[in-house]
Structure formats: C-alpha cells, structure tokens
C-alpha cells in the first residue's frame, strides 16, 4: 500500500534509494592460523640482515614482505597458557598459567579442576561455527584432555589430527624424556596421537609427524574444502616444530651439515622444515583460489628456548622461554593473505598485541566482515560475550580487536595502539605502552649473539636444573625492574631508580590487576588416565572422564589416594 501523498513513481524512486543505501553484504574471509612452537626471534630471516646460511625461511620472509610484520606481538612464557589464551580469548592470568599435565584432575572442581581451559569457557572454533565457518585443526593442542569437552572436537573443531601433551616423539608419537623433560604419571608408556573419531591408527611404517600433519591440513583441510558453498574455512595448523625433541628427517638435516653444533644444526633444520610447510599451505590456498579471500596469521606460542637442549636464538632480545624478558614473550608474528590492504603490504606495525586478541579479531571479521572498516567496539563486546562462562562465574573474555587495527594501520606507528594500551603479561610483568615492569626472579637471563653458540658462555640447562643451581637468573625484587622496551628492546637499561614515580604507578597497577588472577586448584595427574588409555583407547592418551556418570565414583576419588585406585574403580569413570 502506497504512503499517503506519494505517487507510484516517487515510491519506486524511494524504494530504489533504499536498496542502494542498504549496507553491503559482509565478506567473511577464510581464517588461517599457523602457530609455531618455541620459535626463536633470530631464527627467521626477516629478523636477520646478515645473510646467515643457518637461518633459511624464504616462505615466511615472503609473507612478511607481502603482509604486515606484527612487531610487538606478546604471548605467555610457556606453551599451555599461551594456547589456552588463544583458544579462550582470555589473558593467561584469567584462564591458565601452568603447564599442568593433561592427566590432571581435581574431583572437587568439575568446572576448572583440570589442565588447560575450564569446561564452561566458550572457545574460538565454537564461536566461528555460529558464524557459519567450517572449523579444522591439526597438530599440537596442549589446552586440556580430561573430558571430551576439553578436546578439539569438544571445543568446536569439525576435524582434528594431533596430540594433547606439550610434545611427543616425531617418529613414533609416544612421550619420551627428551620431548618434555619429565616422566609422566603413566611412565610415558602411551601414544599421543588423536583424531575426532578417537586414537589415530599408527601403522608399522613410521611417518615423520610434521609430514603427517602437513598432509592432513592440505588434503583434508584445504583441497577438500567446498568453495562453492557459503561456508568459509577456519584452519588452525599448530606445528610441533620447533619444540623438543630435536628430530628432523635426515635429508633435511644434511642441508645444514655446515653447522658444527649438533643441536643447533637440528634446530635450524627444523625451522627450515616448518617454513617449507608454510609455503606448501600457502600454495594450496592459491591453487584452490582461496588465498585472495584469506587472512593468514603466523606466530609462535612463546619465545625460543635458549637452554640445552632447546637451542633457539632470540638475539638481540634478552632471555628466552620461561622468562618474562622479551626473548620469552615477544614473538615472531606476521599477518598476510589477500585481504591485506595493498597500502599496508610490506609494512611493520608497532601496535601492542596479545595472543588472546586473535580471538576478538577473528570473530570480528567473521561477524562484521572485512569490508567493514570501522565497527562499534561495544557491539563487538556483545558478540564476544560468553554466557556459559558467566553462568559458571568464570572470568570474561579479555580479547581486543588489536590485530585488525594493526593490519589496517589505524593505530599509528607509536608504542600504543588505538585499542590496547597495556598487557597484563603475568603476575610478575606488566606492559604499559613503551614501558615494561618486571618483579621478582626471572630465569633464562642471558643475551645471545647473532650466531649460536657464542661468546656469552654456556647454555643454561633445562629450567628445573637451573633453579637448583640458581644460574642464569635475575632477581628484580619486589620493587621491580623497569624498561623502555620501545627504545631499549634488548632490556639493558633499568630505569627503575630514574623514574620512581612511574615505577610506583606500575607496581600499584600490577598489584591491582593481580587481584583478578584466576588460579583454581587443578588437581594432580591421575593414574585413572593411564588405565583408560590402556584399556579404552588401546594404548593412547585420551579423555578419561565422563562427567555425566561421575556420581559415587567421583566421591571416592576425593577420598582415595591415587596410589590405591585399581582397574575396577577406574572403569566406573571410563
């Protein structure tokens, strides 16, 4: 029915104008997340200018030159907290700050009494599924295993091939001492390789794990993706490389035979192998004509391990994995892909970014589209809101839309971005703009040279040993050390005594932020996981709790010592 006073001709014009003014349809990109493990700052070519043959990463260097280098991308200092942060969108201090074994369980807390992410937090893949994405994961998980809910399938991934622990053997997929540096509650007797359907069938002929993962990602993830459907792809490829054990195929290792130090030789070969896989993933995207509609993020879960046997190099940054110095938490990071604005390709962003922020940026792009240059951050907060976590009284999402800001360059070229002005790195570390406060003792305190090993002296041994020896440690005390990491990224000049007022302000702020630390009792590794792995999963690690049938057996677990558990009691929970 025509409006009063408006002729049919005028009404047609009005309708046409209304059609023109309708907002354009959102353009959802394919979201490709490539996560390296223990990748050293100086182990990538775009952080080297000396033409070193021991660093050969041509594919990553190409992505950096054709995309945006995210120069101030921060993580936690160890694996599982960073990965829990990435999947949940929380700062590690609000989700997980311990590398607890995935066999851990606290029967008194059925929400948070496990390693990794609490059961009631909504994770990234779950959110993206609600936006219409196909979700796909490969490689290292390290964010929980205790219940089916804790696994990648339980967290929203349609397809998965990978492992649950911090590391496994690259050839036979079992745990071993050189992989994690410890003997677990199961005596390292089980295999750790899993799919969404259950344990991965290990055949007699061993395949190098990273080649298995590469094949899974390219063939099942990319080449099998139905581009004719409306479903975009969220692909999470989580490398085992370059984490211990230092294992790599002989034909790759021979390329680095000129490096005398055996562990350094292996690490360099592993970095090269990872780079080659990155190139093949990008080539697959291009062959499928998906690259032009993709955002590719590559970064590491923490800084390189400078200890023996880790053998990474973070030159010129101070320290490494297990420390809050830049070498432990500031990581190699690149944004690339066809949706990067042409004016930003080949640029460097100095915006503050935290690993948890990937959660917000991916959901932002999925919900609003990448063709929406500006969005209301309050509207984004509504989309990010986690009702399940709120109902369980768990910390809310911390993630901010910093990554897209850095990509399009809206934050400028200074030490503070438009959206994020500070990062609560840990209970001992706070970054505000260009300044960084560290309190207490920090391990792995050393500066390396451009080559490895170098004149700085011997490598630290594995952290647990160094704690007893009290070597390679810096004690900043309760008053703290203060650095201008924008002007002094190598953290050589402690400003604490020269700007006492700033130090006090940051100390007070850190103390206030630490009040919100989320530190539930996650229990301890349970032999229950070993029994279930042996008898239900045919010798593989896997979920060992079905909480729907917890009941009386769960109460027994509270009262009984783990040493007294037997197969009959365990079967009630498996």
Tell me how far apart the alpha carbons of residues 56 and 160 are, in angstroms, rounded to a whole number. 29
List C-alpha distances in Å: 134 to 153, 164, 198: 12, 22, 20
Q: In the chain, what are the domain boundaries?
A: 30-420, 430-514
Top-confidence residue, 1 or 449: 449
Per-residue pLDDT reduced to its tens digit, 471-481 = 788 999 999 99
pTM of the model: 0.92
Q: What is the pLDDT of residue 411?
A: 64
**333-336 β-sheet, strand order:** 198-199, 194-195, 159-163, 134-140, 233-238, 30-36, 294-300, 333-336, 68-70, 347-349
Mean pLDDT calculated for residue range 296-317: 95
Q: Taking the CB of residue 440, how many other CB atoms lie within 10 A of it?
A: 16
Q: What SS3 state is found at 376?
A: coil
Tell me how far apart the alpha carbons of residues 447 and 491 are, in angstroms, rounded to a whole number. 10
Q: What is the pLDDT of residue 149?
A: 96
Domain 30-420 has CATH 3.30.300.30: no
Question: Do 510 and 430 meet the contact criterion of CB atoms below 8 Å apart?
Answer: yes
Average pLDDT value over all residues in the chain: 90
**Domain 430-514, what fold?**
Arylsulfatase, C-terminal domain (3.30.1120)
**What residues does 354 pair with on adjacent strands?**
74
CA-closest candidate to residue 354, choices 396, 306, 302:
302
Mean pLDDT calculated for residue range 272-279: 98
Q: What is the pLDDT of residue 460?
A: 81
Per-residue pLDDT reduced to its tens digit, 381-400 = 999 999 999 999 999 999 99
Mean pLDDT calculated for residue range 432-455: 87
Tell me how far apart the alpha carbons of residues 333 and 35 are, in angstroms, rounded to a whole number. 9
Tell me how far apart the alpha carbons of residues 460 and 439 are, in angstroms, rounded to a whole number. 21
Question: Do 107 and 554 meet the contact criterion of CB atoms below 8 Å apart?
Answer: yes
Per-residue pLDDT reduced to its tens digit, 202-226 = 887 789 999 999 999 999 999 999 9
Question: Do 416 and 347 meet the contact criterion of CB atoms below 8 Å apart?
Answer: no
List C-alpha distances in Å: 366 to 146, 370, 480, 496: 30, 8, 41, 43
């Amino acid at each position: 029915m025509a409006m009063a006073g408006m002729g049919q001709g005028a009404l047609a014009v009005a309708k046409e104008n209304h059609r023109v003014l309708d907002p354009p349809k959102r353009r959802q990109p394919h979201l490709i997340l490539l996560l390296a493990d223990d990748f050293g700052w100086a182990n990538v070519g775009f952080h080297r200018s000396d033409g070193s043959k021991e660093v050969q990463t041509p594919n990553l260097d190409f992505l950096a030159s054709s995309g945006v280098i995210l120069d101030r991308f921060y993580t936690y200092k160890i694996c599982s907290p960073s990965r829990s942060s990435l999947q949940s969108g929380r700062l590690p201090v609000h989700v997980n700050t311990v590398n607890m074994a995935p066999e851990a369980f606290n029967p008194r807390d059925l929400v948070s009494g496990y390693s990794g992410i609490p059961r009631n937090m909504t994770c990234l893949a779950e959110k993206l599924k609600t936006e219409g994405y196909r979700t796909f994961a490969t490689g290292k998980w390290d964010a929980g295993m205790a219940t089916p809910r804790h696994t990648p399938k339980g967290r929203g991934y349609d397809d998965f091939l990978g492992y649950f622990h911090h590391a496994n053997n690259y050839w036979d997929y079992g745990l071993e001492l050189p992989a994690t540096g410890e003997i677990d509650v199961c005596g390292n007797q089980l295999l750790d390789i899993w799919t969404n359907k259950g344990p991965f069938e290990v055949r007699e002929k061993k395949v190098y794990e990273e080649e298995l993962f590469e094949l899974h990602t390219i063939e099942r993830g990319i080449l099998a993706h139905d581009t004719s459907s409306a479903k975009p792809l969220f692909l999470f490829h989580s490398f085992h490389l370059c984490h211990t054990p230092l294992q790599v195929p002989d034909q790759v290792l021979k390329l680095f035979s000129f490096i005398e130090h055996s562990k350094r030789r292996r690490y360099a070969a592993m970095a090269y192998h990872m780079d080659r896989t990155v190139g093949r993933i990008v080539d697959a995207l291009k062959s499928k004509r998906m690259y032009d509609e993709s955002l590719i993020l590559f970064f590491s879960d923490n800084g390189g391990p400078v200890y023996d046997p880790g053998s990474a190099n973070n030159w010129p940054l101070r320290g490494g994995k297990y420390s809050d110095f830049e070498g432990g938490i500031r990581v190699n990071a690149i944004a690339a892909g066809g949706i990067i604005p042409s004016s930003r390709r080949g640029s460097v962003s100095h915006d503050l970014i935290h690993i948890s922020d990937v959660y917000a940026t991916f959901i932002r792009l999925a919900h609003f589209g990448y063709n929406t240059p500006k969005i209301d951050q309050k509207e984004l907060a509504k989309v990010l809101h986690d009702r399940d976590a709120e109902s369980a009284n768990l910390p809310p999402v911390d993630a901010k839309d910093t990554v897209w800001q850095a990509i399009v360059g809206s934050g400028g070229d200074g030490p503070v971005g438009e959206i994020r002005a500070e990062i609560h790195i840990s209970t001992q570390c706070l970054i505000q703009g260009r300044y960084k406060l560290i309190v207490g003792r920090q391990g792995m305190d050393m500066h390396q040279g451009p080559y490895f090993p170098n004149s700085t002296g011997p490598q630290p041994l594995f952290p647990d040993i160094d704690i007893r020896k009290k070597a390679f440690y810096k004690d900043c005390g309760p008053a703290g050390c203060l650095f201008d990491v924008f002007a002094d990224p190598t953290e050589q000049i402690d400003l604490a005594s020269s700007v006492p007022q700033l130090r006090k302000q940051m100390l007070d702020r850190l103390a206030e932020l630490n009040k919100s630390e989320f530190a539930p009792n996650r229990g301890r590794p349970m032999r229950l996981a070993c029994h279930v792995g042996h008898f239900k999963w045919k010798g593989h690690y896997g979920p060992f709790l079905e909480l729907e049938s917890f009941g009386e057996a769960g109460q027994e677990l509270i009262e009984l010592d783990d040493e007294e558990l037997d197969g009959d009691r365990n079967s009630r929970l498996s």
